[in-house]
Structure 1
Amino acid sequence: MAVKQISVSQLKCACLDAEWREQWLRGENPPTISLTPPGVVPVYGTLFHKIAENYVGWLTSAKAAQQLTEEDALWHEMYERFAETKLAELLQSEKIESAFHVSECLKSFCRRAAELRRRTPNFHSWQDVYLTKEFSVRDVRFDIKSDAGENSIFVSGQIDAVRTHPEYGLEIADYKLSHGNNLKHDLLQLAIYAELLKLAKPGLRFHGVLEYYEPALHEVPVSEQELEAIFTELVQPVLCELAGNRGQVTGNRGQGTGNREQVLPQDDLSAKIRRCYASFKLDVQIIDKQEAPQLIRYKVKPAAGVKVVSLANRAEDLQVMLSLSQPPLIEPAQGCVTVDVPKDKPDAVLWTDVVKDADYAAHPSPVSFPVGVGVDSRVMIADFADSNMAHILIGGASGSGKSEFLKSLVASLIAKNEPDTLKLSLIDPKILTFGSFSHCPYLREPVITEIFSAIPCLQAAVEEMNGRYARLGIEGFESLSLRFRAGKKDIPFYVIVFDEFADLILTGNAEKKEFETLTARLAAKGRAAGIHLVLATQRPDSKIVTGIIKANLPLKICLRVTTFRNSQIILDQTGGESLLGRGDLLCDRGKGAERAQSPYISRLELLNVAGNYSKSPTAVNVQNI
């Protein structure tokens, strides 16, 4: 099976330009940005998009932005913070007409933002308007099947905005600074994004809108049905051609490079590692090699007098010597130093395979779940009933696989329980992570998308915990787990999953203190009562992951983060900044950080688990997928 990758911008060019498509198929890399014709004022769309992106990021994160209601105030903040310097650069380059045009387009953008705020019911913050500034859809897989076989093509891109809409629920917006010759062609990119989001966020539906800033705003609303028709007519045939197979296109989102073709084993790099270190007068021996789904781990034995830090400091030199895309992660281990070399094409770790693993299937706890597959190729299991793993702190930047990890965690808990033995509260301010669970019978209440509803949810959990303690005391049980083992299962385990709790922390000091207090109370006493917290954030800095929060969440999971400081905040050690993303993680279960690849659960599997259950969920759900 052949596999190819393409960006949304490239796919759009391929759909509109047969010559561009032929160049791409020949292995060339034709440009996607067209030159401005002579005599036409350049519109600087990239500059407009960048300023708009930064501004929306500020609106959704700054407390002061909540007070902005009118166009003039919004424009003042945008100009002072983001636009002034860029417009001045255009003026200095004597591009006066372009600078004026961009500024007028940005003013229209601020006017539009004020309108969006007014149309948003129960407005608390700009996060109620913009779910994300540039929502990333990465490696969405399309399988092309025909009599000749099956090929796949992975599509990635950045959406201008995903916003709330009072009538349609969610809205994809695509910004343009000029009209094309054909409206259907202008809608093409929007149609591609709608299809990608449908696959990436199963269970959610998206209305589309094309926003022309010329510089006055002109809107073109597009229904879901119209977007589907454009995709089927203009994009689907081109996907078949690009994949090298004319047949039927089916969508299936892959995590990272999972589910790709079988490849030959990667070359043994032991000799090159030795030579690299030897060139710096560092004598080492390669004593073992382990192959994990996403990497190959070489175990290095340093000679007497060779310091571990000296080996770690040569990570960038190894990157050059081994022709790697990024430096390898080098860490001390028992009796050796490990050098983790990323695979050229990582292997898929599928949720359906992991939950059928013999060790995991035999685990007796109803609240155990697979963290992923470790470097030793064994399933790494965590158990909420264990005091070292009763609550979880998760950190990971955009593209790290954090949302996919949360989905697999929740799916694993559901697959081990019936609705009367497990209840879930899912707090999802961005609406996108848990859209598939809207009708899930395991939910204690509908998915919580209002950030200010999170505190009442936690307060109710504290009251529930106190009530459970009273009942356990009367019945003579030390914990809900022991009560379960005794055959009494009328009190369900209760797991609260909060995706992006930073939104609440940044709301204000009062909310932050209340959240910390409730978190500390639930973490201190929740395990015995069968109540467990899962807190996740894209921004694991000291303002978000406070000492109180960190100290009370024993199980730490760090996916790829931006800086080594983020890694230290989650794990008390560096390394998270060197992870590969897409599910590659470090997990501390109370005995030091362990590396693993988290399982990927597909859209269909997730819908099956979230929407169906039986007396034997594990057997039925896994076999039916």
Structure 2
Amino acid sequence: MEFYEITLKTEYSQSEYPDKQKDIENINKILETYGLKVDKVKERAQVIRYIIHVPLDIKRQGWVKCAWEDIINNIIATLGTDNIVILEKENDLIIERRGMFNVIPFGALYTSYFDDVTPISSAVLGLNKKEDTVYFDIGKTSNVLIAGSNESDKTETMNSIIASLLMHNIYSAPPGLKTIIDIIDMNGKYSKYNDASIKIIDDEYDAFFYLDQLCVEMEARCSAFEKHGCTHIDEYIQKGFKMARRICIIDEFADLVLKIRRIEDYVVRLSQKARACGIHLVIGTQHISRDVVTESIKTNFSFKIALHTSTEKESCMLIDKSGAERLWGRGEMLIKDCGESPIRVHGCHVFDEDITNMVKLADETIVRKVRIKSESPEVAVNTSNIKREFATRYVVSKKVGFFQGIRNIMNAPQCTTPSDFMFFILDD
């Protein structure tokens, strides 16, 4: 899709499933005895569906009912059990085959129309069964939890969220309201985003300090709201003040929290209170267990994206019901918002070339300046105990012996709080 200065790739990576005609012949051969055949074929990303219409008068006949299980078993045996699902919907029998046929490009979903009509904090996720674009507004959700097993394409889901926010910042977000995006990335998966508009935190101790400072900013924003008689960021902006939303994306939360357990306290504290202040968390993990996805995390992260899970137990742990273990992976997901039933969505792919172009354009158009106080609320930062010069991207100087000093400070009976050691990196 072409914007003013950038063209996103929209073509599908491959054309159609090569064995489609062979599948139709095999299915028709099984069904011809019963007077049925494939009536319709639908193709979408990584899915091809063969639809057989079963008239109600035929479906009610006893011999069809008795043979129904044999029909389904024969179809599965003929087409292969590794990537076939049989669905029944009203008077239709749907045979769904999965495979690496097509990939949904991010550029096919994030169009200029989508950019115009959606909020600046919204993000594209993929397509549902009806081929409708599925997106969500991070500003309206409490927090987002993304979880799935290895090769479930959690990284792609994160990429689509980051790319959506970045595109909104470039084209539709007004000055002073552009979303601040920070990524805690311990494995280097998102280093390609590291530029003037997105900050990458790649060390657990830097992440600890960053989250502590985020809590300080949350309290400062709350104080500013109280001062002007507001209860949340939207009301504050409506009164003419400028305050940007801040999105903190944490990749592989398990690696982080299992190294420094206190980080969970900061995450829970932020998840309970920060939404009204315009601070939102998006965390992802492949390690789905009770010591990572705790009850506090489940309660405060009401918007959940479950990719393929290894077991039914993991699916229930994430979305309180089974189903994620039956997903095919490669970006297929179940999305569950608070109090709603999960919906099945197939995620999109953000091409590396698109990311490079977006980051380059953002670097040219979005200017971030280093300041010691935030956009609206003034935050007092105690610098009396600062002994070193800290880098200006939330990254603490990595001089010899520094990390051991941090450990000594954190383990001391009476110590200076981490807030005393950090500067803000904030927007105009």
Instruction: Give a deviation string over 1:470-495, Cα, whole Å, max 9, x none.
Output: 2123233332234445654x321111
Is the strand fraction higher in 1 or 2? Answer: 1
Please give the secondary structure, in 2, of the residue aligned with 1:457: helix
Please give the secondary structure, in 1, of the residue aligned with 2:134: strand
Contact 1:315 1:327 in 2 (8 A): no
1:530 corresponds in structure 2 to 278
Please give the secondary structure, in 1, of the residue aligned with 2:117: coil
Query: Displacement of 1:615 after TM fit?
Result: 9.4
Contact 1:266 1:343 in 2 (8 A): no
2:101 corresponds in structure 1 to 346
Which of 193, 202, 216 does residue 463 from structure 1 map onto?
Answer: 216
Query: Displacement of 1:275 after TM fit?
Result: 9.7
2-structure distance, mates of 1:292, 1:530: 36
Letter in 2 for 1:415: M
In 2 relative to 1, CA 551–384 (structure 1 residues): closer, same or farther, beyond 3 Å? same
2-structure distance, mates of 1:505, 1:337: 48
2-structure distance, mates of 1:547, 1:339: 38
Contact 1:286 1:299 in 2 (8 A): yes
- Work out whether 1:572 is the aligned partner of 2:320: yes
Letter in 2 for 1:492: A
Alignment of 1:461-610 (within 5 A): 461-484=214-237, 488=241, 490-507=242-259, 511-512=260-261, 514-590=262-338, 591-610=340-359
Report the TM-score when normalising by structure 2: 0.67
Please give the secondary structure, in 2, of the residue aligned with 1:412: helix
Structure 2 portions without partners, runs of 5+: 1-8, 63-67, 367-428
Letter in 1 for 2:156: E
Query: Displacement of 1:391 after TM fit?
Result: 1.2
2-structure distance, mates of 1:315, 1:486: 62
2:122 corresponds in structure 1 to 368
- Work out whether 1:422 is the aligned partner of 2:159: no
Among all aligned residue pairs of Structure 1 and Structure 2, give the percentage whose two residues are the same amino acid: 21
1:328 corresponds in structure 2 to 85
Contact 2:17 2:101 in 1 (8 A): no
Alignment of 1:2-13 (within 5 A): none
2-structure distance, mates of 1:467, 1:262: 54
Letter in 2 for 1:470: S
Query: Displacement of 1:390 after TM fit?
Result: 2.8
Instruction: Give a deviation string over 1:360-390, Cα, whole Å, max 9, x none.
Output: 334341110111111111110111122xx33
In 2 relative to 1, CA 438–329 (structure 1 residues): closer, same or farther, beyond 3 Å? farther
In 2 relative to 1, CA 403–467 (structure 1 residues): closer, same or farther, beyond 3 Å? same
Query: Displacement of 1:563 after TM fit?
Result: 1.9
Report the TM-score when normalising by structure 1: 0.47
Give the RMSD, CA atoms, in angstroms: 4.0
In 2 relative to 1, CA 390–292 (structure 1 residues): closer, same or farther, beyond 3 Å? farther
Contact 1:380 1:596 in 2 (8 A): yes
1-structure distance, mates of 2:92, 2:22: 17
In 2 relative to 1, CA 338–463 (structure 1 residues): closer, same or farther, beyond 3 Å? farther
In 2 relative to 1, CA 381–276 (structure 1 residues): closer, same or farther, beyond 3 Å? farther
Query: Displacement of 1:499 after TM fit?
Result: 0.6
Contact 1:293 1:377 in 2 (8 A): no
Instruction: Give a deviation string over 1:286-329, Cα, whole Å, max 9, x none.
Output: 9997643222457899978x9xxxx99x9887542433533427
1-structure distance, mates of 2:295, 2:31: 40
Contact 2:13 2:102 in 1 (8 A): yes
Contact 2:123 2:137 in 1 (8 A): yes
In 2 relative to 1, CA 535–614 (structure 1 residues): closer, same or farther, beyond 3 Å? closer
1:396 corresponds in structure 2 to 148
Which of 104, 111, 126 does residue 356 from structure 1 map onto?
Answer: 111
Query: Displacement of 1:277 after TM fit?
Result: 11
Q: How many residues align?
A: 341
In 2 relative to 1, CA 612–277 (structure 1 residues): closer, same or farther, beyond 3 Å? same
Instruction: Give a deviation string over 1:434-458, Cα, whole Å, max 9, x none.
Output: 1112224233xxx211123323222
2-structure distance, mates of 1:609, 1:440: 12
Instruction: Give a deviation string over 1:241-273, Cα, whole Å, max 9, x none.
Output: xxxxxxxxxxxxx9xx95124557945979988
In 2 relative to 1, CA 568–357 (structure 1 residues): closer, same or farther, beyond 3 Å? farther
In 2 relative to 1, CA 586–271 (structure 1 residues): closer, same or farther, beyond 3 Å? farther
Contact 2:196 2:363 in 1 (8 A): no
1-structure distance, mates of 2:32, 2:296: 46
Instruction: Give a deviation string over 1:161-180, Cα, whole Å, max 9, x none.
Output: xxxxxxxxxxxxxxxxxxxx
Greater relative contact order structure (CA < 8 Å, 6+ sep): 2
Please give the secondary structure, in 1, of the residue aligned with 2:198: coil
Which of 134, 139, 142 does residue 385 from structure 1 map onto?
Answer: 139
Contact 1:526 1:532 in 2 (8 A): yes
Query: Displacement of 1:274 after TM fit?
Result: 10
Instruction: Give a deviation string over 1:201-258, Cα, whole Å, max 9, x none.
Output: xxxxxxxxxxxxxxxxxxxxxxxxxxxxxxxxxxxxxxxxxxxxxxxxxxxxx9xx95
